[in-house]
Chain A
Amino acid sequence: MFGRSRPSWAWLLGGLAALVAAMVLGVAAGAASITPLDIAGALLAPVWPGMESPLDDRQAAVLVELRLPRVVLGAMVGGLLACAGAAYQGVFRNPLADPYLLGAASGGGLGATLVIAFGGDVFDSPRALVPVAAFLGALLGVAAAYALGHSTARGGTASLVLAGVAVSSFLSAVQTLLQQMRIEELQRIYAWVLGGLGRSGWDDIVMVTPYAVAAMVVLLGCGYLLDMLALGDEKAVSLGLNATAVRLIVISAASLATAAAVAVSGLIGFVGIVVPHIVRRLVGTGYRMILPMSLLVGGAFLVLVDIVARTVIAPAELPLGVVTAFLGAPFFIIVLRGTRDRSM
């Protein structure tokens, strides 16, 4: 069960290098004309005696206030979604479990929409509550999809996916209804649903970091438990594992990760399938490796996707969710064909 063994630190270093490289590219790409050389100069100038920063104040502000937070947030969101996807796949022993398909993302989206549309009536600053509402919604979405999938056909791959699709569709319908009721917020919510990082700032990062860190600590700590679960429930129980408790903890943490991502960037699909799948190809089936690698590769992946979103129809931007769907949908079909309903 424990796939090809490879020197894990080398893989993790490679993943980290990919993430750093993607982030450097991400900082260098954009509508404003700042070259990587300028950026290097701007970073070196304060510490290099006698060197002038090649950037004027405005370019520096673009870099610090727009580019950097966007790239950092992209890495965070991608890592969170990929890691959550890998964790869901481990818990449900299902290669197609994904925050987006399971209803976690649309549940989170609905929770966030509720707060955006109606929170102002109840609270002074609804913005801070968005991640909490998204978390509750995400949990609800996953619970509904899982319950539905299990009640129908013993929870095989196909039935879980179908249940997730049904739940997602229903939650999206509720969300559309809410949007119509609060039409003055429609445009903002519409843009947010399609997913994007274009309006992100450091304050968004500050807002989600605690949730993101909490979720990651739990998930990365659960790698070996997921490996035991993968042996099958009986075997896991005989090793002294409380399978139900592990499932609950991992699902909660993955849903929290999803919620944190959704709260700042809207609904971005397929990252949670594509990235863990690639990672599995690289490092085998051990979750102790899959989870941290998904975090790193997912971060790199979404930063690259964001570069595409920013540059294809510049100066306009494509919604991130559109780009990931372009890349992810064919991938999904490949994975689906490869599963044939055998458990992982």
Chain B
Amino acid sequence: MRNARRLSAALLPAALVLTAACGGPDTADGAGAGDSGGAFPVTVDDARGEVTIDEAPQRIVSLSPSTTEMLFAIGAGDQVAAADEYSDYPEEAPTTDLSGFTPSVEAISEEDPDLVILAGSAEDAAEQLDKLGIPVLVLDAATTLDDTYDQIRLLGEVTGEAESADAEADRVESEITGIVDETKEKLGDTDLSYYHEVDDTMYSATSDTFIGQIYNEFGLTNIADEADDAASSGGYPQLSPEFIVEADPDLIFLAYGGADAVEDVAERPAFDKVSAVQDDDIVQLDEDISSRWGPRVVDLAQEVSDAVLAASGEER
């Protein structure tokens, strides 16, 4: 399985880019607080257009970790029959060896699902599921925090958990706002710059990406915004070592795992001249939390907040 993980990691920037190019979902019928939990049939807009769900699904196959986390957070976890190989959170998620990147439609049909939720990059599988008459929801990766809140609410609608989904979306939003406000209060005006590293081949993320917007909330400056291909790469440019050393970021965030990752970055040629390396401000984020735009973005915001406060010499 290590190889699959490596390949997925290699394709991650591509997958992120793929899904970053599209907008998030809109709820078609103006969902809001006060919707009853059992308003079926329900019609929502997904990445491909309108989808009508006739009755509350009981056997959902969720093929993206973000979606799985959202479903469990809104109390629809017991309706999830199977989740993809990387859906390892929460503990009780029914992780299988199904792939979310290259879904096997036959293997999905074996689960006898009454709703399949796919990531945006797997749209061709959606067409095959259509042919089998299995309801499909295609959710593009969120590109803003608002997309995340919308997706949580949309999943609430299609699972009959609209009320608790509303509450969950509100909770995530207010907690993030709280973390940001508190951090900014302690920080005052900051001119800290940062470099976010998606993988060890120095793919980064600009301020226009989901993760970039999280850093934006804290008032940080992103060195990747100045990259030549910041826009053409869909927000995920590959930076050169020279560029990074030249930009001299105060903070380096690593969004991938590995026990020696921080050390490896510090030991790259010429990186000893970078402020973040000199001040030990290389932060290894939890690789799952920093790549899933679900309810745990709160934890991500907390990780960033801690790092920023540490870098600015503040007491935590």
1/0 per residue B89-118: CB within 8 Å of A?
A: 000000001110110111101101000000
CB-based contact A30/B106 at 8 Å:
yes
CB-based contact A184/B234 at 8 Å:
yes
Give residues of chain A (297-334) contacting chain B, Cβ–Cβ below 8 Å.
314-317
Give residues of chain A (48-107) contacting chain B, Cβ–Cβ below 8 Å.
57-58, 61-62, 65-67
For the complex, what is the distance from the CA of A187 to the CA of B125, rounded to whole Å?
Answer: 14
CB-based contact B133/A315 at 8 Å:
no
Known A-B contacts A66-B128, A183-B233, A316-B99; the reply to A32 vs B106 at CB < 8 A is yes
CB-based contact B18/A184 at 8 Å:
yes
CB-based contact A315/B98 at 8 Å:
yes
Q: In the assembled complex, which residues on chain B have CB atoms less than 8 Å from the CB atom of A201? A: 127-128, 131
| A181 is an interface residue with CB less than 8 A from chain B | yes
1/0 per residue A22-65: CB within 8 Å of B?
A: 00000000111100000000000000000000000110011001
CB-based contact A316/B132 at 8 Å:
no
Known A-B contacts A32-B109, A315-B97, A315-B107; the reply to A183 vs B14 at CB < 8 A is yes
| B167 is an interface residue with CB less than 8 A from chain A | no
CB-based contact B104/A316 at 8 Å:
yes
Q: In the assembled complex, which residues on chain B have CB atoms less than 8 Å from the CB atom of A198? A: 102, 104
For the complex, what is the distance from the CA of A32 to the CA of B108, rounded to whole Å?
Answer: 9
For the complex, what is the distance from the CA of A101 to the CA of B121, rounded to whole Å?
Answer: 32
Most buried by A among B14, B101, B106, B127: B106
| A118 is an interface residue with CB less than 8 A from chain B | no
Shortest distance between the CB of A221 and any CB in chain B (Å): 37
Known A-B contacts A184-B18, A187-B14, A187-B121; the reply to A58 vs B132 at CB < 8 A is yes
| B33 is an interface residue with CB less than 8 A from chain A | no
| B11 is an interface residue with CB less than 8 A from chain A | yes
New A-B contacts (4) at CB < 8 Å, excluding given A183-B236, A186-B14:
A30-B106, A58-B109, A184-B17, A187-B15
Residues of A whose CB lies within 8 Å of any CB of B are 30-33, 57-58, 61-62, 65-67, 181, 183-184, 186-188, 190-191, 198-199, 201, 314-317
Residues of B whose CB lies within 8 Å of any CB of A are 4, 11, 13-15, 17-18, 21, 97-99, 101-102, 104-107, 109-110, 112, 121, 124-125, 127-128, 131-134, 232-234, 236
